[in-house]
Chains A and B, each alone.
Chain A
């Protein structure tokens, strides 16, 4: 401890800026880790609380996919002996048209009986919140809002509130306000209750319910009750405890979580190399000090511990800062994660409480400190091995021994071999083990390969600038250890940029391809700008009306809904098979001998998307079991086609079959082809005039608008790459600044000689700049190589576990090329300050010997 105060503290003070930069590595890694997990947890927590609040005292919920079920199911459920109370529910998001309020979830309930399940008012119980229940039921515009929502928007009992519903904007009258607590805390208060039968009308449910909430008789175990109800209702219904709704969220967020976790691991890895680099540097700079300590009799252990303790302390500081930054980031991220939840409820979750989970923070702290200490281990060991005599001399280079290099190369070779075996085995866990092995092997090879690259660079640099260039290259060649840290960090982050960029670009290209081949209707008639919003549906009868509009050549209906297949919520796409066969065919991967369209049309099979087949490991002839309200529908796969519309996969079913089994004749989107010679814009106008008059929610989108919308979604993928580029640049700057700082210390004498024999300051700067650029180039070269491998792995992960979409391997040369100037500039930028400090060094000091 005393050593720490005597030796470490003055050093830290002297190199405050750089010490801070070191800690930045840890801060970055820990912050990303904390942010991702905290934000996820906050959203999960808020979501679970919401589910809980909405479920009220319900022990079980009965659903049947997104279609809901007819009203008679309620009586069947109420007739089941185990059931004490069963109430129907409709859940529908509605736009509030209030600034900053977004959507509100409307809970349609049967106000005559629902109170036994839901606590609308914790304080006074019963229906006292409504002045007159009879008026509430008699007037379909009645609505009960939460106190939170009322306060936010200055609403009172009797106020009018306009909501966007399926039938257009509707004025509602606030006839009750729920006091705070319980149900009102769902969605941060963006929730309202109305009569279920009125809700059926304004949300286009017909005579259907979305859900039945129920309570079992006392003494009936939940599992037994569920089994009994399931048996009574048949396979088309899901009978689940409310909490299981969180599972849907999990699968929605799974893709996001995996990619963020990969990023977080990379951030930590990169952070580790920055720390390694910094400590290696600190050891170099303080070698004389260490030498003195050793000469004065400090044992090696003590020297090593000194550095390990330092690293632990910077680990703690970095982690604390990282946690703080992470919490801030989490708050920012919550919004974007929450918006993903809109897919489930149609209302953005308001995760107001971003709480620090002590366990998570402990883990983050442990990760930060461990990473820091692991990274400092080698430098600390080197410090302990400092020879007291040598250390007191100036200008000794860190030389990587041949033995060490051999060991590394051997390790790398073994790891590569192991990785290949793992990859050959191929199953998930082995695959990831192989991935990790390759990464580690690449890291082990960094010193050797960067040495090799530096040797290649030397003649080039020398040719450019005989003295400055050669010296810059020599600087790299002679101290691979000094350079390797920065190069390794650069390699990892650039590899990640290239990998993610490659996946992103390939996804983009594939989607564009897919759009070009299948997204060919001229117009789309939908209920929302957002085509994936499935809450708005039209009656099928609208189809003929649209067909009758002059200029319309053909109308196709699409009904898409999520259904559970083998526990995965996949997208069921219901089409008029015949018309799709004619127009709008998707690219076929393979099909059954009878012809997939023919068989699907005949109701003798389903077509599935390529990614569905891969994710479910199913092939032609395998049976897909679809639970329908009318019982289990089991059909063989008769065709596999390319379709990018859903990450979990799509199952394509014929309309007639769907109508029969689901008893649902609604349509999400009409695809409209116009006659040759008709202007789509004219036709669009006519559709709006003729059909849109009765359908206030009806929107007609042009092909171009839909494309733009899809590409906009796809762009979000690319955003991830951009943020990675930012990290890469940061890493480059951090690593290069560190490396150069040490380099100019190591080369103090050399630079002094250069000046003594007539080198101008410009020339000194140039050699430092060239060294920086050389590090950048080597890092870039390694990054490109590593990125090529990383891209392969990321594509595999995407195909295997994320979306089932196997994208072709194409190296993103464009991104790699764009990185060149970016990284070179970053390198140059990083070198500015070290170069200045190099020319400011005292010449006398640089040249003299003690």
Chain B
């Protein structure tokens, strides 16, 4: 489902900084994988590259059989909207939009019919158990609820791949556990390929496979 071959990423500046060096990785369909490592190890960069938010300096990335290199900006966007869902540490909900609108956002961007969008958004919010908060603004929700909205948004088109960047990083332990459970449930329900970046070992331990990164290299790759 996700394949990385000789992927590297350098940041050019006054001094060349290597974030990732010759990464080779294959994640099959339906796997729930965690990427762990200390701050600055390159794990977020890896996630950004896989999500098409950034481009590698070298190597190829293939998502669901589609190579990302050579795609235009809009081509990348098309991959994101069809194949990917993002879950962020700080939720990245649009504060001016209600829960329903936030969830509907990607659907609108794809130009779905309004009726269909509405139905899907409600369905998703029911899925994350937020049917009671449809018209609330993000500011009116608790952290856990916001992340659930964000998850609902990431699921909006039922993408084959979900990318989560420290999904519990901004939540208390209890809520974090709830969110993780939700993600696991969804994994079971939809069979999506899920990649979670975290530095929290307890999060990593819930995953089927744990990839450890340090100084831009994969130093551990454990399936359990």
Consider the complex of A and B and state whether they touch directly, i.e. have CB atoms less than 8 Å apart: yes
Instruction: Choose, from B61-69, B100-108, B189-197, the stretch at the interface.
Output: B100-108
Q: In the bound complex, what is the Cα–Cα distance between A550 and B166 (angstroms)? A: 104
B56 within 8 Å of A (CB atoms): no
State whether the Cβ of A359 lies closer than 8 Å to any Cβ in chain B: no
Contacts A471-B94, A844-B48 given; does A757 touch B74 at CB 8 Å: no
Cβ contact within 8 Å between B106 and A849: no
Tell me which residues across on chain B come within 8 A of A839, comparing CB atoms: 73
* Cβ contacts under 8 Å, A471 to chain B: 94, 96-97
- Residues of chain B lying within 8 A (CB to CB) of residue A478: 95-96
Give every chain A residue within 8 A of B110 (Cβ-Cβ). 758
Residues on A with C-beta less than 8 A from B133 are none
> What band does the interface of chain A fall in when counting residues whose beta carbon is under 8 Å from B?
20 to 34
Q: Which residue of B lies closest to A757 (CB)?
A: B106
* Distance between Cα atoms of A762 and B72 in the complex (Å): 13
Name the distance in Å between B180's Cβ and chain A's nearest Cβ.
21
- Distance in Å: Cβ of A385 to nearest Cβ of chain B: 22
The one of A467, A475, A757 that contacts B86, using a Cβ cutoff of 8 Å: A757
Closest beta carbon of chain B to A753's beta carbon, Å: 5
Quick one: given A466-B114, A757-B106, are A750 and B94 in contact (CB under 8 Å)?
yes
Quick one: given A466-B114, A844-B48, A847-B88, are A477 and B96 in contact (CB under 8 Å)? yes
Q: Of B86, B95, B108, B114, which is in contact with the most chain A CB atoms at under 10 Å from its CB?
A: B108
Q: Are B153 and A467 in contact (CB under 8 A)?
A: no
Knowing A756-B80, A760-B77 touch, does A847 contact B101 (C-beta < 8 A)?
A: no
Most A CB contacts (10 A, CB to CB) among B74, B114, B154 go to B74
Cα–Cα, bound, A758→B80 (Å): 6
A754 to B106, CA, bound (A): 8
Determine the distance from Cα of A69 to Cα of B64 in the docked complex, in whole angstroms: 105
Q: Are A749 and B92 in contact (CB under 8 A)?
A: yes
Kindly provide the distance from the CB of A382 to the nearest chain B CB, expressed in whole angstroms. 21
Whole-angstrom CA separation of A475 from B96 in the bound complex: 8
Given known A467-B108, A470-B101, A844-B48, contact A757–B90 (CB-CB < 8 A): no
Kindly list chain B residues whose C-beta atoms are within 8 Å of the C-beta of A95: none
Q: Please name the residue on chain B nearest to A755 by beta carbon.
A: B77
Task: Provide the residues of chain A in CB contact with B53, threshold 8 Å.
Answer: 756, 843-844, 847
Instruction: Return B122 CB to nearest CB of chain A, in Å.
Output: 16
B209 within 8 A of A: no
Distance (Å) between the CB of A396 and the closest chain B CB? 10
A757 and B109 form a contact (CB under 8 A)? yes
- Given the interface pairs A471-B94, A474-B97, A844-B48, the reply to whether A758 lies near B89 with Cβ below 8 Å is no
B73 and A844 contact, CB distance less than 8 A: no
Q: Is the CB of A753 within 8 A of B109?
A: no
Is B51 on the interface with A (CB-CB < 8 A)? yes
- Indicate if B26 sits at the interface (CB-CB under 8 A): no
User: B23-65 vs A: 1/0 string, CB under 8 Å?
Assistant: 0000000000000000000001000100101100000000000
Residues of B near A847 (CB, < 8 A) are 53, 88, 92
Residue of B nearest to A843 (CB): B53
Whether A756 pairs with B97 at a CB distance below 8 angstroms is: no
Do B54 and A757 touch (CB < 8 A)?
no
Residues of chain B with a CB closer than 8 A to A752's CB: 92
In the complex, A800 has a CB within 8 A of chain B: no
Contacts of B51 in A (CB 8 A): 756
A466 contacts which chain B residues (CB < 8 A)?
104, 108, 114, 117
| A579 interface contact, C-beta 8 A | no
Q: Given known contacts A844-B53, A847-B53, is B81 in contact with A758 (CB within 8 Å)?
A: yes
Cα-based distance from A760 to B109 in the complex (angstroms):
8
* A798 to B94 CA separation, bound complex (whole angstroms): 52
Contact between chains at B94 and A758 (CB < 8 Å): no
Question: A847 to B89, alpha carbons, bound, how many Å?
Answer: 10
Chain A positions 754 through 777: 1 when the CB is less than 8 Å from some CB of chain B, otherwise 0: 111111111100000000000000
The smallest C-beta distance from B102 to any residue of chain A, in angstroms, reads 9
Query: In the complex the two chains form, is B96's CB within 8 Å of A474's CB?
Result: yes
Contact with A along B196-212 (1 / 0, CB 8 A): 00000000000000000
- Contact: B54 with A843, CB < 8 Å? yes
What 1/0 flags go to A839-850 for Cβ under 8 Å of B? 100011001110
A397 to B95, CA, bound (A): 10
Contact call B80/A753, Cβ cutoff below 8 A:
no
Of the listed residues A471, A475, A762, A839, the one surrounded by the most CB atoms of chain B closer than 10 A to its CB is A471
Docked-complex contact A753 and B81, CB < 8 angstroms: no
Q: CB-CB < 8 A to B73: which residues of A?
A: 761, 839
Assuming A466-B114, A467-B109, A844-B48, is B77 touching A761 (CB within 8 A)? yes
For B73, give the chain A residue with the smallest CB separation.
A761
CB nearest to A840 among chain B residues: B73
Q: Point out the residues of chain A lying under 8 angstroms from B97, CB to CB.
A: 470-471, 474
Give Cα A844 to B117, complex, Å.
Answer: 28
In the complex, what residue of chain A is closest to B54 when comparing beta carbons?
A: A844
Name A756's closest neighbour in chain B (CB-CB). B86
Cα–Cα distance between A471 and B94 once the two chains are bound (Å): 9
**For residue B80, which residues in chain A have a CB less than 8 angstroms away from its CB?**
756-758
Query: Once bound together, how far apart are the Cα atoms of A470 and B108, in whole Å?
Result: 11
User: Do the beta carbons of B89 and A763 come within 8 Å of each other?
Assistant: no
Across the interface, which residues of B come within 8 angstroms of A763, CB to CB? Answer: 109
**Does B109 contact A754, Cβ atoms closer than 8 Å?**
yes
Give the distance in Å from the alpha carbon of A314 to the alpha carbon of B50 in the complex: 47
A395 to B, closest residue via Cβ: B95
Contacts of B117 in A (CB 8 A): 466
Query: Given A471-B94, A471-B96, A756-B53: A761 and B108 within 8 A (CB)?
Result: no
One digit per residue, 1 when the CB lies within 8 angstroms of any chain B CB and 0 when it does not, for chain A 68-104 equals: 0000000000000000000000000000000000000
Q: Which residues of A contact B90 (CB under 8 A)?
A: 849
CB distance from B211 to the nearest CB of A (A): 20
Chain A residues near B (Cβ < 8 Å): 397, 466-467, 470-471, 474-475, 477-478, 749-750, 752-763, 839, 843-844, 847-849
20 contacts between A and B (CB under 8 A): A466-B104, A466-B108, A470-B96, A471-B94, A474-B94, A478-B95, A478-B96, A753-B92, A756-B53, A758-B77, A758-B78, A758-B106, A758-B109, A759-B77, A760-B74, A761-B74, A761-B77, A762-B74, A763-B109, A843-B48
Ranked 4 nearest A-B pairs via Cβ? A758-B81, A474-B96, A466-B108, A467-B108
19 extra A-B contacts, CB within 8 A, seeds A470-B101, A755-B77, A758-B109: A466-B104, A466-B108, A467-B109, A475-B96, A749-B92, A750-B94, A752-B92, A753-B92, A756-B86, A757-B80, A757-B105, A757-B106, A757-B153, A757-B156, A758-B82, A758-B110, A760-B77, A760-B109, A844-B53
